[in-house]
């Protein structure tokens, strides 16, 4: 480095490198300028100055200088290395790898470049290249522990676990007998556990167990040692030893559910689907009774039997489990019991049990069969549990009466107001739910969770400005909305995006959805630093788990929701382009082709010029805000805060396809993925891709209403297409003709007959009838009255509840809203009005249908104020012009407003 410079300037060059490494950028810049005064064309100095400027957020200058330096000295490995670092800082990893390879052609044994290249290969999952680079590093520096470990990990990631074991054993052979010293025992123990996990992964179970026992004294993490040992024993079929070890683990942590599951496997009483014979239940009951005697303080040992016990034994166990938790006042009790509602008959037993407890406490002040009096709060918690029970079963009137009684009993418990807010949300009164959530928030202004729950309710009620002002109460002062973005608060961005989408503000909705996508890109980027850190600290098992997690990162539900939201926005944008864009397109379409081309070029130049000016302004405005290192601390201003530029895409469907490919790769088992694929590809006239989506839907759930809808719509469109002319069209036609008979739903049936058969199979389902009605109208427009009649003749049958109080109906509020929108937009607006009146009776709390008990009705019970003293707001009257929130979290604008109960 700097070899072509005189000694004085060569020392200055070393100072530039040192200043860069210690983040003293101003000092490095000064040294670079000193060299360049004498040697203005010195390539390596120009490159290092560019790299320093890049760290000071002066990217455009940085790229110019680095390219100029490379141009002046193409045979310098430093210039190529710096160019690669510049690309790496902008996440252009493939370009960075090319630069590193060019640098290695000049200096093949440069350790730093090889190390940087290996990090990028791990990041990009170029596993073959990663193995080669790590081997080269080991060859050059075999006395460095990290190179041995890195080479082993590279082979493991490249699906060669046994080779990785050989490398680790070769590394152990280089160590002395008394290794490790005390300060390296943890790292060495982690390496040994990693090696044993590799043997387990490769199927060498006996060898792994022998190695584990042999190295016991050198492994510091005794819990991990025992868990690894018991895992190997179970896989080897040595269940008695495994059971003994699981009991030892339970003595260490009797609330670990995995240990109980493992113990059940060892004694032969485990079932994947939780289905047990009566004999197995008897044996399991005995097992857990004996465990309860040993670990009486454990919650898990009392809760797990509720999953397999039946009938009277279940009732007795549930009674014993619920009573102390009601007395203690555990708000999460219902969340704990909630999975039992999926077990046939258990919800009814729980209802009878809780009702009996409530009645006994109300009348006698004590539990049935007990002499000791219960504290007054026990009744309140019993009412709280009952309210959540009825809410789960859809009996909202009973649920609200119980929660109101609990609030009247003890009006200072915040959980009651939060629960009532959830009940009202489920019942369909989103405005009242937001108001109750705000009342709960005002009772404890220092609780971030309650604040977040309140924000979520506001966003669900489409009160976005109020939700934003409430959310920023818990952010730092200054740029508050950016602060929410920096905290990667994805639930907030998703809820905001969905609200904007419902309101038709596609620009803001897209802005929020794409922000979530950016967070996932940042999470992917965040793994970069761990490639070297984990090898250095020897946290190898966790490192490999992290890499596997990163590989399936985009299958997470938040990314799925964000991608679905973005695709829906682009579909709507394609179907109804914004007025401004449509007018511009009309004006352009009237121009001759030559003028169109000139106008497009002019627009592109203007956009580029505006972008450059904006960057210049940002640099000028932040020039005064430079830290001691020379790095600017001011964040650039968002040039498109309302997402208006996002709406100006030339081809919305091409953008939608980009996100659709991610969904198809990461969420292939979601019906929604392939339904959206069908919608996008039908609009793009991609017949075979649309048919592929239909086939995937048939594979996942052939009886789903959306599957049937896509199937019939697709072949209806195909039947209406003109006869094929080109070779491509003929090929597509032949594929469809060959595939159609293989679809059982259409085999020897016309589309009308297939639609009729589908109706006969799903007569009782509202959503299936709605799908059939929509398709009947699409196939035979003259049969619109018959299609409407199909929906209107649907019956809302009660669900069998085995003695539950009050009727529970089959129809869900969300489904009824979907049907209303179908009637209103596709079939018949008069029928939509009739449907709305009918649903208002079924859902009296729904504001969408204007139910008599909802806050949408002026004289309803939920429009009467009871608790104005809590300082909460009437959110149904809120508007975007509400005054800002005070810094302490109180709403000055709300002081004269009231809350609905």
Please write the tens of the pLDDT for every residue from 176-215.
Answer: 877 778 888 899 999 999 999 999 999 999 999 999 999 9
- Rounded to the nearest 5 percent, the helix, strand and coil shares of the chain are 70, 0, 30
Counted residue by residue, the chain has a size of 901
DSSP-derived letter for residue 374 is: P
659 and 774 inside one domain = no
Place of tokens 């960057």: 615
Expressed in angstroms, the distance from the first to the final Cα of the chain is 74
3-state secondary structure 168-203: HHHHHHCCCCCCCCHHHHHHHHHHHHHHHHHHHHCC
Contact 553, 559 (CB under 8 A): yes
Among the candidates 130, 162, 177, a domain finishes at 177
659 and 785 inside one domain = no
793 and 656 inside one domain = no
- Is 138 inside any structural domain? yes
Domain total in the chain: 3
Q: Which residues of 410-425 are buried (b: 16+ CB within 10 A; e: fewer)?
A: eeebbbbbbbbbbbbb
- Is 68 inside any structural domain? yes
541: domain CATH number is: 1.25.40.1010
The helix (H) or strand (E) run that includes residue 221 is none
Q: CA-to-CA distance for 241 and 586, rounded, in angstroms?
A: 79
Q: Is-above-0.85 flag for pTM?
A: no
Q: CA-to-CA distance for 658 and 663, rounded, in angstroms?
A: 9
Please write the tens of the pLDDT for every residue from 234-270.
Answer: 999 999 999 999 999 999 999 999 999 999 999 988 8
- Is 875 inside any structural domain? no
Q: CA-to-CA distance for 659 and 651, rounded, in angstroms?
A: 14
> According to the model, what pLDDT value does residue 300 have?
93
∠ at Cα 354 (353, 359), nearest 5°?
Answer: 100
> According to the model, what pLDDT value does residue 881 have?
36
Among the candidates 132, 149, 177, a domain finishes at 177
CA distances in angstroms from 662 to 200, 477, 555, 674, 802, listed in the order given:
33, 36, 9, 12, 45
Contact 895, 468 (CB under 8 A): no
- Is 538 inside any structural domain? yes
For residue 809, give the 3-state DSSP assignment: strand
Contact 69, 670 (CB under 8 A): no
Place of tokens 């705000």: 438
Q: CA-to-CA distance for 588 and 594, rounded, in angstroms?
A: 11
Q: CA-to-CA distance for 62 and 50, rounded, in angstroms?
A: 4
Sign of torsion over alpha carbons 417, 420, 425, 428:
negative
- Is 680 inside any structural domain? no
Q: CA-to-CA distance for 873 and 853, rounded, in angstroms?
A: 19
Q: CA-to-CA distance for 247 and 270, rounded, in angstroms?
A: 16
Print the domain residue range for 763.
Answer: 749-857
61 and 160 inside one domain = yes
789 and 654 inside one domain = no
Locate all alpha helices (DSSP H) within 377-447, ordered by sequence: 377-392, 396-409, 414-427, 430-443
Is cis: bond before 180, omega within 30 of 0? yes
Locate all alpha helices (DSSP H) within 2-58, ordered by sequence: 7-21, 25-38, 43-55
Bridge partners of residue 38, in order along the sequence: none
Q: CA-to-CA distance for 285 and 282, rounded, in angstroms?
A: 5
- Is 397 inside any structural domain? no
> According to the model, what pLDDT value does residue 726 have?
82
Among the candidates 663, 693, 723, a domain finishes at 663
3-state secondary structure 717-760: HHHCCCCCCCHHHHHHHHHHHHHHHHCHHHCCCCHHHHHHHHHH
> According to the model, what pLDDT value does residue 866 have?
41
> According to the model, what pLDDT value does residue 99 have?
92
Q: CA-to-CA distance for 498 and 506, rounded, in angstroms?
A: 10
> According to the model, what pLDDT value does residue 592 have?
67
Q: CA-to-CA distance for 13 and 6, rounded, in angstroms?
A: 10
- Is 834 inside any structural domain? yes
797 and 658 inside one domain = no
Query: Token digits for 528?
Result: 């970069």
| Intervals of the chain under pLDDT 50 | 478, 580-584, 619-624, 627-633, 802-806, 864-901
Contact 111, 103 (CB under 8 A): no
98: domain CATH number is: 1.25.40.10
> According to the model, what pLDDT value does residue 637 have?
65
Contact 716, 776 (CB under 8 A): no
The helix (H) or strand (E) run that includes residue 886 is none
Locate all alpha helices (DSSP H) within 125-160, ordered by sequence: 127-140, 145-157
24 and 164 inside one domain = yes
Place of tokens 């049937």: 708
- Is 810 inside any structural domain? yes
Contact 297, 288 (CB under 8 A): no
658 and 774 inside one domain = no
Contact 86, 70 (CB under 8 A): no
24 and 129 inside one domain = yes
Question: Could you give the count of Cα atoms lying within 13 Å of 375 in the half-sphere of its Cβ?
Answer: 11
Q: CA-to-CA distance for 570 and 579, rounded, in angstroms?
A: 15
């Amino acid at each position: 480095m700097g070899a072509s410079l005189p000694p004085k300037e060569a020392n200055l060059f070393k100072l530039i490198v040192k200043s860069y490494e210690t983040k003293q950028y101003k000092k490095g810049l000064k040294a670079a300028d000193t060299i360049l005064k004498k040697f203005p064309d010195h390539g390596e100095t120009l490159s290092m100055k560019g790299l320093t400027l890049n760290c000071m957020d002066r990217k455009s200058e940085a790229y110019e200088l680095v390219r100029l330096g490379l141009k002046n000295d193409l045979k310098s490995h430093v210039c190529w290395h710096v160019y690669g670092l510049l690309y790496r800082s902008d996440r252009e990893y493939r370009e960075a790898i090319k630069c590193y390879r060019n640098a290695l052609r000049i200096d093949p044994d440069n350790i730093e470049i090889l190390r940087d290249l290996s990090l990028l290969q791990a990041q990009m999952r170029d596993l073959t290249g990663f193995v080669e680079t790590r081997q080269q590093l080991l060859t050059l520096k075999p006395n460095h522990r990290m190179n041995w470990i890195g080479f082993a990990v590279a082979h493991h990631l490249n699906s060669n676990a046994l080779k990785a074991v050989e490398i680790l054993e070769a590394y152990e052979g280089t160590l002395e007998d008394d290794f490790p010293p005390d300060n390296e025992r943890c790292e060495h123990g982690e390496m040994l556990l990693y090696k044993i996990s590799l043997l387990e992964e490769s199927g060498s179970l006996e060898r792994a167990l022998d190695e584990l026992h042999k190295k016991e004294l050198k492994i510091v993490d005794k819990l991990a040692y025992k868990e690894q040992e018991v895992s190997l024993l179970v896989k080897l079929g040595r269940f008695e030893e495994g059971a003994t070890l699981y009991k030892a683990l339970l003595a260490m942590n009797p609330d670990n559910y995995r240990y109980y599951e493992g113990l059940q496997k060892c004694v032969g009483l485990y079932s994947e689907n939780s289905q047990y014979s009566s004999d197995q239940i008897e044996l399991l009951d005995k097992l857990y009774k004996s465990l309860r005697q040993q670990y009486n303080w454990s919650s898990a040992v009392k809760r797990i039997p509720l999953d397999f016990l039946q009938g009277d034994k279940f009732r007795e166990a549930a009674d014993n489990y619920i009573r102390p938790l009601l007395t203690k006042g555990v708000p999460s009790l219902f969340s704990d019991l909630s999975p039992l509602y999926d077990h046939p008959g258990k919800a009814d037993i729980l209802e009878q049990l809780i009702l009996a407890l409530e009645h006994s406490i109300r009348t006698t002040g004590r539990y049935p069969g007990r002499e000791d009096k219960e504290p007054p709060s026990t009744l309140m918690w019993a009412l709280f549990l009952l309210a959540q029970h009825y809410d789960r079963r859809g009996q909202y009137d009973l649920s609200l009466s119980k929660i109101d009684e609990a609030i009247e009993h003890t009006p200072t418990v915040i959980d009651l107001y939060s629960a009532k807010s959830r009940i009202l949300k489920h019942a369909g009164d989103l405005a009242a739910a937001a108001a109750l959530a705000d009342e709960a928030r005002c009772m404890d202004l220092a609780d971030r969770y309650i604040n977040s729950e309140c924000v979520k309710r506001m966003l669900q009620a489409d009160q976005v400005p109020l939700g934003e002002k409430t959310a920023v109460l818990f952010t730092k002062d200054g740029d508050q909305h950016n602060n929410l973005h920096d905290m990667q608060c994805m639930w907030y961005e998703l809820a905001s995006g969905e609200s904007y989408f419902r309101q038709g503000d596609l620009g803001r909705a897209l802005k929020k959805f794409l922000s979530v996508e950016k967070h996932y890109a940042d999470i992917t980027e965040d793994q970069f630093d761990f490639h070297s850190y984990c090898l250095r600290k020897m946290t190898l098992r966790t490192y490999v788990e992290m890499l596997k997690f990163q590989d399936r990162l985009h299958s997470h539900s938040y990314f799925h929701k964000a991608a679905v939201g973005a695709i829906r926005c682009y579909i709507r944008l394609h179907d109804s382009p914004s007025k401004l864009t449509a007018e511009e397109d009309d004006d352009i379409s009237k121009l001759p082709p030559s003028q169109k081309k000139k106008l497009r070029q002019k627009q592109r130049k203007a956009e580029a010029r505006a972008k450059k000016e904006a960057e210049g302004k940002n640099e000028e405005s932040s020039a005064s805000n430079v830290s001691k290192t020379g790095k600017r601390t001011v964040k650039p201003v968002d040039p498109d805060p309302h997402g208006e530029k996002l709406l100006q895409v030339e081809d919305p469907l091409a953008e939608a396809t980009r996100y659709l490919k991610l969904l198809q790769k990461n969420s292939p088992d979601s019906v929604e993925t392939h339904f959206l694929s069908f919608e996008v590809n039908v609009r793009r006239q991609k017949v075979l891709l649309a048919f592929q989506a239909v086939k995937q839907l048939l594979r996942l759930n052939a009886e789903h209403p959306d599957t049937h809808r896509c199937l019939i719509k697709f072949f209806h469109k195909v039947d209406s297409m003109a006869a094929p002319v080109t070779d491509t069209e003929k090929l597509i036609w032949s594929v469809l003709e060959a595939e159609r008979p293989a679809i059982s739903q259409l085999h020897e049936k016309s589309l009308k007959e297939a639609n009729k058969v589908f109706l006969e199979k799903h007569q009782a389902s509202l959503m299936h009838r709605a799908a059939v009605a929509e398709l009947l109208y699409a196939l035979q427009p003259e049969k619109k009255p018959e299609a409407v009649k199909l929906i209107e003749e649907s019956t809302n049958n009660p669900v069998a509840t085995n003695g539950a109080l009050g009727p529970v109906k089959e129809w869900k509020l969300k489904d009824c809203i979907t049907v209303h929108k179908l009637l209103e937009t596709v079939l018949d607006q008069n029928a939509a009005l009739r449907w709305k009146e009918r649903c208002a009776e079924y859902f009296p709390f729904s504001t969408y249908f204007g139910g008599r008990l909802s806050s949408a009705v002026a004289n309803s019970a939920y429009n009467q104020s009871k608790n104005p003293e809590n300082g909460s707001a009437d959110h149904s009257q809120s508007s975007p012009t509400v005054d800002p929130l005070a810094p302490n979290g109180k709403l000055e604008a709300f002081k004269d407003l009231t809350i609905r109960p």
